[in-house]
Amino acid sequence: MNTIDARRRSVTPSQKRMQTRARKLGELALKALEDIASGTGPAAIRLAAAREILDRGYGRPLMGEVVDKKRSLKVMVRRFTSAEDGSVG
């Protein structure tokens, strides 16, 4: 058994109750992330929400994990600045 499996198996009753409560609100939380990601707020906030959605849909890759390039998703973020004041737009 690897370390990750060992940690997952040793869930306390309190942690289990918290997981159950959080899972009941999962759809609501995902909807909130969708609203933030597609909103007009700061790009950093929208990117963080999008990353959370992707992590839940595809999982977080482990460090050093070999990625299947046929199934991978590449995200590119571009910043545009205004010529007048240099602000990010």
Spans of all domains in the chain: 1-89
Kindly write down the DSSP assignment for every residue of 6-66, as one continuous string.
Answer: HHHH---HHHHHHHHHHHHTHHHHHHHHHHHHTSSS-HHHHHHHHHHHHHHHH-PPPTTPP
Per-residue confidence (pLDDT) for residue 8, from 0 to 100: 58
Read off the tokens for 48: 């963080």
Q: Do the Cβ atoms of 52 and 36 come closer than 8 Å?
A: no
What does each of the 89 residues of the chain score in pLDDT, given as a tens digit? 455 555 556 789 999 999 899 889 889 999 999 999 999 989 999 999 998 888 888 887 666 656 666 766 676 777 766 656 555 55
